[in-house]
Structure 1
Amino acid sequence: MQKAIILATALAGSIGLAACAPAETNTAVEEAQDSGALAVVQGFYEAIGTGDMDTVAGLLAEDVAWSEAEGSPYAAGNPYVGFEAMGAGVFGPINEAFADFAGIPETFTTEGDRVVVEGRYTGTNRETGEALDAPFVHVFTVADGQIATFQQYTDTWQWRQLTGTLED
Protein backbone atom coordinates (compact mmCIF):
# COMPACT_ATOMS: atom_id res chain seq x y z
CA MET A 1 0.00 0.00 0.00
CA GLN A 2 2.82 2.44 0.87
CA LYS A 3 4.39 1.92 -2.58
CA ALA A 4 1.09 2.75 -4.25
CA ILE A 5 0.67 5.88 -2.13
CA ILE A 6 4.15 7.07 -3.06
CA LEU A 7 3.44 6.31 -6.73
CA ALA A 8 0.07 8.01 -6.63
CA THR A 9 1.44 11.04 -4.80
CA ALA A 10 4.16 11.49 -7.39
CA LEU A 11 1.62 10.94 -10.12
CA ALA A 12 -0.90 13.43 -8.76
CA GLY A 13 1.75 16.10 -8.57
CA SER A 14 2.97 15.46 -12.08
CA ILE A 15 -0.30 14.82 -13.87
CA GLY A 16 -2.31 17.54 -12.24
CA LEU A 17 -5.66 15.80 -12.32
CA ALA A 18 -7.74 18.90 -11.90
CA ALA A 19 -10.62 19.38 -9.56
CA CYS A 20 -13.24 21.76 -10.80
CA ALA A 21 -16.86 22.57 -10.34
CA PRO A 22 -19.16 21.24 -13.03
CA ALA A 23 -19.47 23.57 -16.01
CA GLU A 24 -23.15 22.71 -16.16
CA THR A 25 -25.60 21.73 -13.50
CA ASN A 26 -28.73 19.67 -13.79
CA THR A 27 -31.59 18.79 -11.50
CA ALA A 28 -30.28 15.25 -11.03
CA VAL A 29 -27.12 16.68 -9.49
CA GLU A 30 -29.04 19.05 -7.24
CA GLU A 31 -31.46 16.34 -6.09
CA ALA A 32 -28.75 13.77 -5.40
CA GLN A 33 -26.60 15.95 -3.17
CA ASP A 34 -28.47 14.55 -0.17
CA SER A 35 -27.27 11.02 -0.99
CA GLY A 36 -23.62 11.86 -0.45
CA ALA A 37 -22.49 10.03 -3.60
CA LEU A 38 -21.85 13.28 -5.42
CA ALA A 39 -19.81 14.68 -2.53
CA VAL A 40 -17.67 11.53 -2.45
CA VAL A 41 -16.88 11.71 -6.18
CA GLN A 42 -16.25 15.46 -6.13
CA GLY A 43 -14.00 14.91 -3.12
CA PHE A 44 -12.11 12.27 -5.10
CA TYR A 45 -11.37 14.69 -7.97
CA GLU A 46 -10.41 17.43 -5.52
CA ALA A 47 -8.05 15.14 -3.60
CA ILE A 48 -6.42 13.89 -6.80
CA GLY A 49 -6.04 17.48 -7.98
CA THR A 50 -4.26 18.54 -4.81
CA GLY A 51 -2.20 15.36 -4.47
CA ASP A 52 -3.91 14.37 -1.21
CA MET A 53 -3.44 10.62 -1.58
CA ASP A 54 -4.50 9.87 1.98
CA THR A 55 -7.93 11.28 1.15
CA VAL A 56 -7.99 9.48 -2.20
CA ALA A 57 -7.23 6.17 -0.49
CA GLY A 58 -9.90 6.87 2.12
CA LEU A 59 -12.52 7.56 -0.54
CA LEU A 60 -11.88 4.23 -2.25
CA ALA A 61 -13.28 0.99 -0.90
CA GLU A 62 -10.48 -1.42 -0.05
CA ASP A 63 -11.73 -3.72 -2.82
CA VAL A 64 -12.67 -0.98 -5.30
CA ALA A 65 -13.11 -2.46 -8.79
CA TRP A 66 -11.53 0.00 -11.24
CA SER A 67 -12.08 -0.68 -14.97
CA GLU A 68 -10.44 1.21 -17.79
CA ALA A 69 -12.23 1.49 -21.15
CA GLU A 70 -12.17 -1.67 -23.25
CA GLY A 71 -9.47 -1.28 -25.87
CA SER A 72 -7.50 1.15 -23.74
CA PRO A 73 -3.76 0.57 -23.43
CA TYR A 74 -4.35 0.34 -19.67
CA ALA A 75 -7.26 -2.15 -19.69
CA ALA A 76 -5.22 -5.36 -19.54
CA GLY A 77 -5.67 -5.73 -15.78
CA ASN A 78 -9.41 -4.95 -15.69
CA PRO A 79 -10.80 -4.78 -13.19
CA TYR A 80 -7.98 -3.46 -11.05
CA VAL A 81 -8.93 -4.32 -7.49
CA GLY A 82 -7.67 -1.95 -4.83
CA PHE A 83 -5.66 1.23 -4.71
CA GLU A 84 -2.26 -0.41 -5.18
CA ALA A 85 -3.37 -2.23 -8.35
CA MET A 86 -4.75 1.02 -9.77
CA GLY A 87 -1.47 2.80 -9.13
CA ALA A 88 0.62 0.08 -10.73
CA GLY A 89 -1.64 -0.67 -13.69
CA VAL A 90 -3.14 2.69 -14.55
CA PHE A 91 -1.77 5.78 -12.83
CA GLY A 92 1.91 4.82 -12.99
CA PRO A 93 1.90 3.95 -16.72
CA ILE A 94 -0.04 7.13 -17.56
CA ASN A 95 2.54 9.16 -15.65
CA GLU A 96 5.32 7.46 -17.57
CA ALA A 97 3.67 8.16 -20.94
CA PHE A 98 2.29 11.70 -20.45
CA ALA A 99 3.58 14.99 -19.10
CA ASP A 100 1.16 17.58 -17.72
CA PHE A 101 -1.66 15.02 -17.79
CA ALA A 102 -5.04 16.20 -16.48
CA GLY A 103 -8.47 14.67 -16.19
CA ILE A 104 -10.86 17.58 -15.94
CA PRO A 105 -14.45 16.88 -14.91
CA GLU A 106 -17.01 19.14 -16.57
CA THR A 107 -20.44 17.81 -15.56
CA PHE A 108 -21.75 15.53 -12.87
CA THR A 109 -25.00 13.60 -13.12
CA THR A 110 -26.27 11.42 -10.32
CA GLU A 111 -28.92 8.85 -9.68
CA GLY A 112 -28.92 7.21 -6.28
CA ASP A 113 -25.48 5.76 -5.59
CA ARG A 114 -24.23 6.29 -9.17
CA VAL A 115 -22.38 9.36 -10.36
CA VAL A 116 -21.59 9.93 -14.04
CA VAL A 117 -18.86 12.46 -14.81
CA GLU A 118 -18.21 13.90 -18.26
CA GLY A 119 -14.92 15.63 -18.93
CA ARG A 120 -11.68 15.74 -20.90
CA TYR A 121 -8.22 14.28 -20.63
CA THR A 122 -5.30 16.43 -21.75
CA GLY A 123 -1.58 15.89 -21.72
CA THR A 124 1.54 15.62 -23.82
CA ASN A 125 3.19 12.37 -24.85
CA ARG A 126 6.64 12.43 -23.26
CA GLU A 127 8.37 10.73 -26.20
CA THR A 128 6.69 12.35 -29.21
CA GLY A 129 5.38 15.66 -27.90
CA GLU A 130 1.95 14.86 -29.34
CA ALA A 131 -1.05 16.28 -27.50
CA LEU A 132 -3.79 14.20 -25.91
CA ASP A 133 -7.25 15.81 -25.93
CA ALA A 134 -9.82 13.09 -25.38
CA PRO A 135 -13.31 13.19 -23.92
CA PHE A 136 -14.17 10.84 -21.06
CA VAL A 137 -17.13 9.54 -19.15
CA HIS A 138 -16.50 8.10 -15.69
CA VAL A 139 -19.19 6.06 -13.97
CA PHE A 140 -18.78 5.67 -10.21
CA THR A 141 -20.79 3.57 -7.78
CA VAL A 142 -20.59 4.73 -4.19
CA ALA A 143 -21.40 2.45 -1.25
CA ASP A 144 -21.04 3.26 2.44
CA GLY A 145 -19.38 6.60 1.66
CA GLN A 146 -16.65 5.11 -0.55
CA ILE A 147 -16.13 4.52 -4.26
CA ALA A 148 -16.92 0.85 -4.85
CA THR A 149 -16.66 0.71 -8.66
CA PHE A 150 -15.32 2.85 -11.48
CA GLN A 151 -15.86 2.41 -15.22
CA GLN A 152 -14.13 4.60 -17.77
CA TYR A 153 -15.24 5.37 -21.32
CA THR A 154 -12.94 7.35 -23.60
CA ASP A 155 -11.47 7.67 -27.08
CA THR A 156 -9.30 4.55 -26.93
CA TRP A 157 -8.11 4.99 -30.52
CA GLN A 158 -6.46 8.29 -29.59
CA TRP A 159 -4.92 6.81 -26.44
CA ARG A 160 -3.51 3.86 -28.43
CA GLN A 161 -2.22 6.10 -31.19
CA LEU A 162 -0.41 8.35 -28.73
CA THR A 163 1.05 5.47 -26.67
CA GLY A 164 2.23 3.54 -29.71
CA THR A 165 -0.06 0.60 -28.99
CA LEU A 166 -2.43 1.06 -31.94
CA GLU A 167 -2.56 -2.15 -33.90
CA ASP A 168 -2.95 -2.13 -37.67
Structure 2
Amino acid sequence: MSSIYKSKKNIIIGKIGKPYGLLGNNKINSFMEKKSNIFKYIPWIIKKNIFQKLKIVFYKKTKMIAKIKGVNNRDQAQIYTGHNIYINNSKLPKLKYEEYYWKDIIKCLVYNMKINKLGMVTKLIETGSNDVLVVESSNKKLFIPFLMKKVIKKVNILNKIIIVDWDYNF
Protein backbone atom coordinates (compact mmCIF):
# COMPACT_ATOMS: atom_id res chain seq x y z
CA MET A 1 0.00 0.00 0.00
CA SER A 2 1.34 3.47 -0.82
CA SER A 3 2.28 5.98 1.88
CA ILE A 4 -0.85 8.03 1.16
CA TYR A 5 -2.82 5.50 3.21
CA LYS A 6 -0.69 5.74 6.36
CA SER A 7 -2.67 7.67 8.97
CA LYS A 8 0.30 9.55 10.49
CA LYS A 9 0.91 11.26 7.15
CA ASN A 10 -2.72 12.32 6.68
CA ILE A 11 -4.43 15.36 8.14
CA ILE A 12 -8.10 16.26 8.31
CA ILE A 13 -9.10 19.23 6.15
CA GLY A 14 -12.87 18.91 6.28
CA LYS A 15 -15.90 16.72 6.70
CA ILE A 16 -18.53 15.39 4.32
CA GLY A 17 -21.90 16.86 5.22
CA LYS A 18 -25.46 15.81 4.59
CA PRO A 19 -26.85 15.07 1.12
CA TYR A 20 -27.66 18.05 -1.07
CA GLY A 21 -30.46 17.60 -3.58
CA LEU A 22 -31.60 14.33 -5.13
CA LEU A 23 -28.71 13.50 -7.48
CA GLY A 24 -26.11 12.30 -4.97
CA ASN A 25 -24.28 15.50 -4.03
CA ASN A 26 -23.03 16.17 -0.49
CA LYS A 27 -22.47 19.41 1.40
CA ILE A 28 -18.78 19.86 2.22
CA ASN A 29 -17.60 21.35 5.51
CA SER A 30 -14.13 22.79 5.01
CA PHE A 31 -11.74 23.35 7.93
CA MET A 32 -9.42 25.44 5.77
CA GLU A 33 -8.90 29.18 6.29
CA LYS A 34 -10.32 29.89 2.84
CA LYS A 35 -13.16 27.36 2.73
CA SER A 36 -13.13 26.75 -1.04
CA ASN A 37 -9.43 25.76 -0.97
CA ILE A 38 -10.51 22.27 0.04
CA PHE A 39 -11.27 21.63 -3.64
CA LYS A 40 -7.59 22.21 -4.53
CA TYR A 41 -6.69 18.94 -2.80
CA ILE A 42 -8.80 16.46 -4.76
CA PRO A 43 -8.65 13.44 -4.68
CA TRP A 44 -9.51 13.30 -1.00
CA ILE A 45 -8.92 10.44 1.39
CA ILE A 46 -11.57 9.06 3.72
CA LYS A 47 -11.43 6.33 6.30
CA LYS A 48 -13.95 3.52 5.94
CA ASN A 49 -12.19 0.85 8.03
CA ILE A 50 -9.07 1.68 6.00
CA PHE A 51 -7.87 4.87 4.32
CA GLN A 52 -8.99 5.07 0.70
CA LYS A 53 -9.02 7.63 -2.08
CA LEU A 54 -12.30 9.33 -2.80
CA LYS A 55 -12.79 10.49 -6.37
CA ILE A 56 -14.82 13.65 -6.86
CA VAL A 57 -16.51 14.01 -10.25
CA PHE A 58 -18.14 17.39 -9.67
CA TYR A 59 -17.94 20.23 -7.17
CA LYS A 60 -19.30 23.72 -6.79
CA LYS A 61 -17.28 26.13 -4.65
CA THR A 62 -20.07 28.68 -4.24
CA LYS A 63 -22.43 26.14 -2.67
CA MET A 64 -19.68 23.99 -1.09
CA ILE A 65 -21.03 20.77 -2.58
CA ALA A 66 -19.37 17.79 -4.23
CA LYS A 67 -20.40 14.64 -6.05
CA ILE A 68 -18.53 11.44 -5.25
CA LYS A 69 -17.87 9.01 -8.10
CA GLY A 70 -20.47 6.24 -8.10
CA VAL A 71 -22.93 8.13 -5.89
CA ASN A 72 -26.10 8.81 -7.87
CA ASN A 73 -28.85 9.47 -5.35
CA ARG A 74 -29.58 10.92 -1.94
CA ASP A 75 -29.50 7.54 -0.14
CA GLN A 76 -26.03 6.74 -1.51
CA ALA A 77 -24.81 10.23 -0.56
CA GLN A 78 -26.09 9.70 3.01
CA ILE A 79 -23.57 6.86 3.48
CA TYR A 80 -20.68 9.36 3.30
CA THR A 81 -22.19 11.91 5.71
CA GLY A 82 -19.94 12.55 8.68
CA HIS A 83 -16.75 11.11 7.16
CA ASN A 84 -13.63 13.20 7.71
CA ILE A 85 -11.80 14.38 4.59
CA TYR A 86 -8.05 13.79 4.75
CA ILE A 87 -5.13 14.74 2.56
CA ASN A 88 -1.53 13.66 2.71
CA ASN A 89 0.76 16.14 4.53
CA SER A 90 2.98 16.34 1.47
CA LYS A 91 0.16 18.09 -0.45
CA LEU A 92 0.29 21.16 1.81
CA PRO A 93 2.17 24.19 0.44
CA LYS A 94 5.44 25.20 2.07
CA LEU A 95 5.00 28.09 4.48
CA LYS A 96 6.95 31.31 4.81
CA TYR A 97 9.26 32.03 7.72
CA GLU A 98 7.35 32.20 11.04
CA GLU A 99 4.18 30.70 9.55
CA TYR A 100 2.92 27.44 10.99
CA TYR A 101 0.21 24.91 10.38
CA TRP A 102 -2.01 24.25 13.36
CA LYS A 103 -1.13 20.57 13.11
CA ASP A 104 2.50 21.50 13.88
CA ILE A 105 1.59 23.63 16.91
CA ILE A 106 -0.57 20.96 18.57
CA LYS A 107 1.34 19.00 21.25
CA CYS A 108 4.08 21.63 21.56
CA LEU A 109 5.25 22.23 25.12
CA VAL A 110 4.87 25.85 26.20
CA TYR A 111 7.32 27.63 28.51
CA ASN A 112 7.30 31.22 29.70
CA MET A 113 10.33 33.52 29.68
CA LYS A 114 11.27 32.32 33.20
CA ILE A 115 11.45 28.77 31.81
CA ASN A 116 8.37 27.67 33.77
CA LYS A 117 6.50 24.95 31.94
CA LEU A 118 2.94 26.14 31.34
CA GLY A 119 1.67 22.98 29.66
CA MET A 120 1.01 21.53 26.23
CA VAL A 121 -0.95 23.00 23.33
CA THR A 122 -4.09 20.90 23.00
CA LYS A 123 -5.87 22.99 20.38
CA LEU A 124 -6.08 26.39 18.76
CA ILE A 125 -9.07 28.67 18.57
CA GLU A 126 -9.68 31.05 15.68
CA THR A 127 -11.10 34.31 17.04
CA GLY A 128 -10.98 36.51 13.96
CA SER A 129 -8.38 38.97 15.19
CA ASN A 130 -5.79 36.33 16.13
CA ASP A 131 -5.53 32.65 16.94
CA VAL A 132 -5.43 31.53 20.57
CA LEU A 133 -3.38 28.65 21.97
CA VAL A 134 -5.22 26.42 24.43
CA VAL A 135 -2.46 25.24 26.78
CA GLU A 136 -3.31 22.54 29.30
CA SER A 137 -1.51 20.93 32.21
CA SER A 138 -2.81 18.68 34.96
CA ASN A 139 -4.24 21.54 37.01
CA LYS A 140 -4.93 24.42 34.63
CA LYS A 141 -6.03 25.56 31.19
CA LEU A 142 -4.55 28.74 29.72
CA PHE A 143 -5.67 30.71 26.70
CA ILE A 144 -2.67 32.46 25.16
CA PRO A 145 -3.00 34.75 22.11
CA PHE A 146 -0.83 33.65 19.19
CA LEU A 147 0.76 37.05 18.60
CA MET A 148 4.24 36.69 17.15
CA LYS A 149 6.93 38.88 18.74
CA LYS A 150 4.52 40.36 21.31
CA VAL A 151 3.47 37.16 23.15
CA ILE A 152 4.99 34.30 21.16
CA LYS A 153 8.75 34.75 21.42
CA LYS A 154 10.01 31.54 19.83
CA VAL A 155 8.51 28.56 18.07
CA ASN A 156 10.65 25.48 17.58
CA ILE A 157 8.55 23.03 15.62
CA LEU A 158 11.39 20.49 15.37
CA ASN A 159 11.64 20.18 19.18
CA LYS A 160 7.92 20.92 19.75
CA ILE A 161 8.63 23.89 22.07
CA ILE A 162 7.05 27.35 22.23
CA ILE A 163 8.43 30.17 24.40
CA VAL A 164 5.91 32.84 25.43
CA ASP A 165 6.03 36.14 27.26
CA TRP A 166 3.23 35.13 29.60
CA ASP A 167 3.31 35.32 33.37
CA TYR A 168 1.07 32.99 35.26
CA ASN A 169 0.77 32.78 39.02
CA PHE A 170 1.41 29.20 39.95
Q: Work out which of the two has the higher radius of gyration on C-alpha atoms and give 1 or 2.
A: 2
Q: Which has the higher contact order (CA 8 A, sep 6+)?
A: 1
**Same structural fold, with TM-score higher than 0.5 when normalized by the shorter chain:** no
Instruction: Select the structure that is richer in strand.
Output: 2
